[in-house]
Structure 1
């Protein structure tokens, strides 16, 4: 089965112009274009093989309903003329629509020059089929007169260049569009006036360059020794982990004599690293104050610490117990009581305020 190189003719004939152009190009490439052209006097007779090939291709690229309508046509020239008479009036139908599109065509309605250029060629091909193709000067004037009002200075500069071909003007506008997109990308990379950030491995590269001059064994380099020690320690730790059985136990915090927290009393950290809640810290500080007050009691200033006869009137604190040693022992130079009979001794009352009697 032959594969279709282009679309078949639609039943309403909307694609007849492009289909007719494709048929002519295809037949010319195969050398059978004369099968759909009017023969001239003196032309040799066309071979039946070429006629059958042309008829097959014409029927291949038409709608299936059209195949039933023209099934009795056995000549490719007659089938070509019948389709042309039926759909050649498309010029009268295409012309008003194509003219409307050309009048309302504006460059400012398109985002890119590629889209505008595609629309121009599409409209001009329709107008060319209707034998109303605009000239190069009209195309150039259409493009320059429909630019944005903000680009009036650029429009004037393009007019002074006196472009003779519309394709050259489109090329210049496309190039300017690419440069503008590039400038926007460069401006959006970072704020204006800021320097580019340094490369990530810039310092590493400089250090590597500085170390190229150093030569010697690794044993002479103290840095290498420390590196070896670290690797050996890591290997030992890894071996110790392999030897253990069961689940790993959580490491117990080591008590360090140099570490003591004045906030919570812990030996695992210092006060600046304390994370104990505030209310627990206040309770601990209060307990320290209570402990100090119990060890060294403070007495009120105006209470006598003596043994009173009536306990309910005594002081708020008990008097400290005095030592009983050497109470009855008198020194040698003190006279005995018998020698003091003639002495007048006045005893002080134990009730200085007179409220005990």
Structure 2
């Protein structure tokens, strides 16, 4: 039973702009249903087959066309009337296809897929209008419209001597995918932006613990630094007046990495060297003795 619940392809518009492709689709579907003979001249198709073909053709016509050919019962008559009405559009399609083929250029497309789609659409139109486009014509059109920035690449492809356009397209698509992959990798991490290696947390805490237990750290590399660091200010005053302490400094036993202190200016609060008044910690009774007239 003929299934006409939905259209198999786009219905023919009353303007007839899609007649060429509509006729091609209609022939293919009628052939699949075994009804091709119904649109041939002097056919011997049965009335039942003619009715099926007529139903199918009318189902794929615009409502306006259905009303114009309402009285026609033979699919052959309907087919010939539509052909006489719209077949002249083939010349319009041919001239448009010639124009598009002339100005078709690979460099005008962002990717190979879009170029390939436009090329085959034009090729189909030319072939349908009776003009044959060979693989040699397509290859020459593609090579001659390469971007000027890819002249060396164009010469390399020519030297490969492709015989079929499909082989060239396969190389194009592979190269395009590789280029997209390289660009994506570059965008994810541009040049000279390598990630720093992650710190092992366990190793970090272990190193910290070892440093805290190191006797040479915190107390200084010698006794002079350790005592300077941990004694209070009053003891430091005593140490500064200690001859042994001065001798320790003269012998070069003081740490080279000791923090720099104020060694030239005296504290205005207690008169001692080695610190400023704002960080002075000298006991008050010593400060009073120093500041007494």
TM-score normalised by the chain length of structure 1 = 0.54
| Residue equivalent to 2:69 | 70
CA separation in 2, counterparts of 1:78 and 1:197? 80
Q: How do 1:335-346 and structure 2 match up within 5 A? A: none
Which residue is 1:14 aligned to? 17
For 2:131, what is the secondary structure of its paired residue?
coil
How much does 1:46 deviate? 2.1
- Alpha-carbon shift at residue 96 of structure 1 (Å): 1.1
Deviation string for 1:130-189 (max 9, x for gaps)?
Answer: 112321111001111111111111100100111111121112111111111111222222
**For the Cα contact (< 8 Å) 1:125–1:133, is it kept in 2?**
no
Q: Please name the residue that 1:117 is paired with.
A: 116
Structure 2 SS opposite 1:7: coil
Distance 1:75 1:198 in 2: 81
Measured in 2, the distance between the counterparts of 1:8 and 1:172 equals 39
Choose which of 21, 32, 53 in structure 2 pairs with 1:29: 32
Structure 2 counterpart of 1:4: 7
Aligned counterparts of 1:203 and 1:165: Cα–Cα separation in 2: 58
- Could you say what secondary structure the match of 1:131 adopts? coil
User: Matched residues in 2 for 1:167 and 1:155: separation?
Assistant: 16
Give the whole-Å Cα distance in 2 for the aligned partners of 1:112 and 1:74. Answer: 50
* Structure holding more helix per residue: 2
Q: Distance in 2 between matches of 1:11 and 1:73?
A: 17
How far apart are residue 60 of structure 1 and its match?
1.1
Shift of 1:191: 3.3
Matched ranges for 1:78-227 at <5 A: 78-198=77-197, 203=200
Which of residues 35, 39, 43 is equivalent to 2:42? Answer: 39
Larger radius of gyration: 1
Give the SS at the match of 2:32. helix
CA distance, structure 2, for counterparts of residue 189 and residue 72 of structure 1: 68
Greater length-normalized contact order (CA 8 Å, ≥ 6 residues apart): 2
State the distance in 2 between where 1:172 and 1:57 align. 43
In the superposition, the TM-score normalised over structure 2's length comes to 0.65
User: 1:55 deviation in Å?
Assistant: 0.5
How far is the alpha carbon of 1:196 from its aligned partner?
Answer: 4.3
Residue pair 1:127, 1:133 contacting (<8 A) in 2 also: yes
Moved >3 Å (runs of 4+): 193-199
Find the aligned partners of 2:126 and 2:92 in 1 and give their Cα distance.
11
Q: Which runs of 5+ in 1 are unaligned?
A: 208-291, 302-357
Partner residue of 2:251? none
User: What is the CA distance between 1:109 and its match in structure 2?
Assistant: 0.6
C-alpha separation in 1, matches of 2:89 and 2:18: 9
Q: 1 CA distance for matches of 2:127 and 2:118?
A: 14
Deviation for aligned residue 1:38: 2.1
From the superposition, tell whether residues 197 and 80 of structure 1 become closer, same or farther in structure 2 (CA, over 3 Å). farther
Distance 1:146 1:119 in 2: 14
Counterpart of 1:59 in structure 2 is 58
